[in-house]
């Protein structure tokens, strides 16, 4: 009935128009014959005067055809509506029967079926739901294809297999992280702690390509090698120089939230997704893609990818047999592998005379006295750490390394490496040949900037790493910290630092800025190196042996060793014991102190590195817990007429 009424509403204007046209034609015909009718009867519209009959016949046919067509359309529409009504009632009846049979044959379901009206409304407006999804609805896993279920599938009850599958299924990995940290090193962990300190309910996801939870790297080349525990490679627990034991991991597994449960964690938390690598960044879309094609969106992102240890090209081109017998030292797996090699091989050669190479040489050298292992260290400089220490101190350090049982080959430039007769043969450019079982390449670190291209981030052409502003921000919602960050130092210019303290401080600051702190990076980071428990140094600023230096030394005592320093501070990671207020409490002794320069024994002292008569770097040689003073001297940026007076601030002449 409603359809007929609608059809009539459409045809009525046409009929009225036809009637009006007919009356007008009758009047027009009368005027043409000089007879103007006073009125035109509506009932005789189709029979006008002579001359208009054919036109009236056409309009009559038009009206009749319109009426017949409308009637036909109404009949067809009514029949179609009746047929669809019958089909719909049949479908609803069948659903009720299925629901009744399900209730009789199965126990009560724990998931309630939505009302039929709700289903009909949802089926009637799919476009509206697609255009405006619920804000509280959890998106489907991104690694599964998104498909719309049909009405029959949505209404069908779960089978036994479906119930079992739903019960056994585990929560999927989060497809969104408010705070996404790329990299699982020191900087990333420091950022996570900083974020949680400022935002206690924050949900932080760390993605790392390593299989391990965040850990500190310094003990890998220091204390772990001096452990008496034969299972140290499994426990990764070590004794610090002060005798206290600790784990290499920052926190135990119980500290973290499972990655699958992070999205639903009521109080937030820190989750670590191990063994996954971010291979692509969509900066505009605020999302990343992993190496398994999974995508994770984010609100704020930190890049703390660190670096990749370099290798010599002559080794990389030498073939598979040489590469299998070469270690580039960086991770826990590298420590475990080298420890195993050192217990089975007869000879190990370390290529590199920097911090890492010298530390490993001393560590393996001490082990050689017990096992008969031959340890060789070669480098192109004239002495150990020749790029950092002044020549006289570098030569002294080399003699110290030799006393640890290491054979040192100076000014050695590798020409080629080959594998012959179950030995690696290293040929130097001056003609010398070294035969060994295994090679450790400790020749520096290359910042990991693999994401720069896809993310459109700028890489510094001089120092490497991602260029960031004073707040460690590379782009909107993206920060960089640690070894991969090339930042601007307000005193020393643009720099990139590869040390533990910088990773801690830059990661902490980046985490604060990700939560809205907007703080600039002004910290002068320090680093330290220990050649065993008896000799160590701490450094800050630009320490380059090509710069002019001034050294002030004194006689060392029993407390002037790394071991004694950790006993006093209570921690083996000496940067953790730093406090800024220490700098203001230092008072120089009143008594003048003699300057000890370039003598054969350097017990303890301070080395100043100068650029245009301004101190830009300081090394504290066997002088510990005085770093805030050195930091303040560099921060002031003043010229000093007599650096002997400045050295008094470090109290190196006190017994």
417 close to 318: Cβ distance less than 8 angstroms: yes
> CA-based angle 643:645:651, to the nearest 5?
110
Q: How far is CA 169 from the centre of its chain?
A: 28
- Contacts (Cβ under 8 Å, ≥6 apart) of 360: 221, 225, 329, 338, 350, 440, 442
Res 556: pLDDT: 78
Please, what CATH class does the domain formed by 176-214+254-306+448-515 belong to? alpha beta
Closest CA to 220 of 60, 442, 377: 442
Same fold, 310-446 and 526-649: no
In the chain, where are the structural domains located? Answer: 176-214+254-306+448-515, 310-446, 526-649
- Residue 115 confidence (pLDDT): 41
CB neighbours of residue 264 within 10 Å: 11
Q: What radius of gyration, in Å, describes the C-alpha atoms of the chain?
A: 41
Contact, 306 vs 318, CB < 8 A? no
> Closest by alpha carbon to 310, among 326, 333, 322, 298?
326
pTM of the predicted protein model: 0.69
In whole angstroms, give the CA distance from residue 2 to residue 20. Answer: 28
Q: What is the pLDDT of residue 599?
A: 46
Phi, psi for residue 610 in degrees, rounded to 5: -115, 145
As averages over each run of 10 residues, the pLDDT of the chain (655 residues) reads 53 55 51 46 44 65 78 77 71 54 43 38 36 34 35 38 45 90 97 97 97 95 88 89 85 95 94 97 96 96 96 95 96 96 95 94 86 94 94 91 94 96 96 97 96 95 95 96 92 88 95 95 85 81 94 81 64 46 39 42 89 93 90 91 91 73
For residue 606, give every residue at least 6 positions away whose Cβ sits within 8 Å of its Cβ, in sequence order, or none.
Answer: 551, 552, 618, 619, 620, 621, 623, 647, 650, 652
Phi and psi at 303, nearest 5°, equal: -100, 115
Q: Are 182 and 207 in contact (CB under 8 A)?
A: yes
In which residue are the tokens 């010298």 written? Answer: 358
> Which class would CATH give 310-446?
alpha beta
pLDDT on residue 19: 53
Write down the pLDDT at residue 534. Answer: 73
**CATH code for the domain defined by 526-649:** 3.30.390.30
């Amino acid at each position: 009935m409603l359809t007929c009424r609608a059809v009539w509403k459409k045809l009525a204007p046409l009929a009225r128009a036809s009637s009006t046209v007919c009356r007008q034609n009758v009047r027009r015909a009368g005027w043409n014959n000089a007879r103007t009718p006073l009125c035109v009867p509506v009932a005789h519209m189709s029979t006008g005067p002579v001359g208009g009959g054919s036109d009236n016949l056409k309009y009559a046919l038009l009206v009749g055809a319109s009426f017949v067509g409308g009637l036909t359309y109404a009949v067809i529409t009514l029949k179609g509506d009746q047929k669809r009504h019958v089909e719909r009632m049949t479908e609803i009846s069948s659903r009720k029967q299925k629901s009744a049979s399900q209730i009789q044959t199965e126990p009560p379901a724990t998931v309630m079926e939505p009302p039929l009206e709700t289903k009909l409304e949802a089926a009637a407006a799919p476009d509206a739901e697609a255009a405006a999804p619920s804000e509280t609805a959890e998106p489907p896993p991104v690694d599964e294809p998104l498909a719309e279920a049909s009405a029959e599938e949505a209404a069908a009850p779960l089978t036994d297999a479906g119930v079992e599958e739903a019960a056994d299924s585990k929560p999927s990995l989060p497809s969104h992280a408010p705070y996404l940290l790329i990299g699982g090193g020191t900087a990333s962990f420091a950022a996570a702690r900083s974020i949680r300190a400022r935002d206690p309910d924050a949900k932080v996801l760390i993605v790392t390509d390593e299989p391990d939870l965040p850990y500190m790297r310094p003990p890998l080349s220091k204390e772990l090698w001096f452990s008496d525990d034969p299972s140290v490679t499994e426990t990764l627990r070590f004794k610090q120089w002060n005798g206290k034991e600790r784990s290499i991991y920052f926190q135990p597994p119980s500290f973290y939230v499972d990655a699958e449960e992070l999205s639903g964690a009521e109080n937030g938390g820190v989750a670590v997704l191990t063994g996954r690598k971010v291979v692509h960044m969509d900066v505009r879309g605020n999302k990343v893609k992993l190496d398994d094609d999974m995508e994770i969106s984010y609100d704020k992102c930190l890049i703390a990818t660190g670096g990749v240890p370099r290798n010599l090209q002559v080794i990389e081109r030498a073939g598979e047999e040489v590469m299998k017998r070469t270690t580039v030292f960086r991770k826990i797996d590298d420590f475990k592998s080298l420890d195993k090699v050192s217990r089975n091989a007869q000879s190990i050669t370390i290529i590199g005379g920097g911090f890492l190479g010298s530390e490993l040489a001393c560590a393996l050298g001490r082990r050689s006295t017990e096992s008969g292992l031959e340890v060789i260290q070669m480098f192109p400089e004239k002495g150990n750490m020749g790029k950092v220490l002044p020549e006289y101190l570098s030569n002294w350090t080399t003699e110290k390394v030799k006393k640890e049982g290491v054979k040192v080959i100076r000014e050695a430039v590798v020409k080629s490496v080959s594998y012959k007769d179950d030995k690696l043969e290293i040929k130097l450019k001056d003609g010398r040949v070294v035969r060994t079982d295994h090679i450790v390449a400790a020749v520096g670190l290359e910042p990991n900037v693999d994401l720069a291209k896809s993310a459109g981030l700028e890489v510094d052409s001089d120092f490497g790493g991602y260029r960031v502003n004073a707040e460690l921000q590379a782009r909107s919602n993206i920060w960089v910290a640690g070894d991969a960050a090339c930042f601007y130092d307000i005193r020393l210019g643009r720099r990139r630092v590869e040390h533990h303290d910088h990773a801690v401080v830059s990661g902490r600051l980046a985490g604060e800025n990700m939560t809205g702190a907007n703080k600039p990076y002004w910290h002068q980071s320090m680093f330290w190196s220990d050649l065993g428990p008896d000799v160590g140094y701490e450094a800050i600023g630009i320490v380059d042996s090509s710069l002019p230096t001034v050294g002030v030394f004194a006689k060392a005592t029993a407390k002037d060793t790394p071991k004694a320093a950790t006993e006093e501070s209570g921690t083996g990671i000496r940067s953790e014991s730093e406090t800024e207020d220490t700098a203001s409490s230092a008072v120089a002794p009143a008594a003048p102190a003699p300057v000890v320069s370039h003598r054969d024994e350097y017990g303890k002292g301070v080395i100043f590195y100068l650029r245009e008569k301004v101190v830009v770097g300081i090394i504290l040689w066997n002088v510990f817990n005085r770093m805030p003073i050195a930091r303040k001297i560099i921060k002031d940026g003043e010229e000093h007429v007599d650096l002997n007076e400045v050295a008094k601030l470090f109290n190196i002449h006190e017994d």
